[in-house]
Chain A
Amino acid sequence: GAGVSQSPRYKVTKRGQDVALRCDPISGHVSLYWYRQALGQGPEFLTYFNYEAQQDKSGLPNDRFSAERPEGSISTLTIQRTEQRDSAMYRCASSPQGEATYEQYFGPGTRLTVT
């Protein structure tokens, strides 16, 4: 079946603009996760949802970053007033349930470049 999809795959924006990154999880998956990955590093946790409820947002770096999943399916990660340091690969993952025993399945990522 279809895996996790993300759009756009590439986004170039100018400093100060807002961007919205979209994630469509595997159908039926309860939990959805956002990570950010810098070049040469492993992904770093940002936030996650069970259904539409945001369970943990401890990884969001500051209040310019926000995420929502209003109907418990597609999620949007929004970055306001982008800065060059926000440039990274943003990855989304989903899993069948939120409990720790389940694998997380990752999408292809969105490469964000802030100029």
Chain B
Amino acid sequence: KQEVTQIPAALSVPEGENLVLNCSFTDSAIYNLQWFRQDPGKGLTSLLLIQSSQREQTSGRLNASLDKSSGRSTLYIAASQPGDSATYLCAVRKGFLNAGGTSYGKLTFGQGTILTVHP
């Protein structure tokens, strides 16, 4: 059974700091890994999607890396801002066999890192 763990559970930093969020998963045979942002009362916003063949993806101040063999991903946020305050979730996708054949739909999520950036 795939398990996803995120460290730290919570993080509070002053504005302007660079920071790293960590995600680890127990089964390295994944198709891809997705990082999400969750704001209170809103849905999940997809930040970055890294395919299993890729090492990293970048979007603006965000950079996500993937080391599939060791079961780890990191999300790097540069020059953090108060607007970055949210819960960050990572999720991995892996195919598995069920009664209907191979299923690719299931995302397995970590429990999230609650980030607070204070002015």
> A residues engaging B (CB < 8 A)?
3-4, 31, 33, 35, 40-45, 48, 55-56, 58-59, 91, 93, 98-101, 103-109
**Which single residue of chain A is at the shortest CB-CB distance from B31?**
A100
Complex contact B46–A45 (CB within 8 A): no
Say whether B68 faces chain A, with CB atoms less than 8 Å apart: no
Complex contact A101–B32 (CB within 8 A): yes
Total A-B residue contacts, Cβ distance less than 8 Å: 75
> B residues engaging A (CB < 8 A)?
4, 31-32, 34, 36, 41-46, 49, 51, 89, 91, 93, 95, 98, 100-101, 103-112
Complex contact A41–B104 (CB within 8 A): no
Complex contact A109–B43 (CB within 8 A): yes
Q: Specify which of B4, B34, B105, B110 is in contact with A55 (CB 8 Å cutoff).
A: B105
**Distance of A44 Cα from B4 Cα, bound (Å):** 12
Given A44-B109, A55-B100, also A103-B43 (CB < 8 A): no
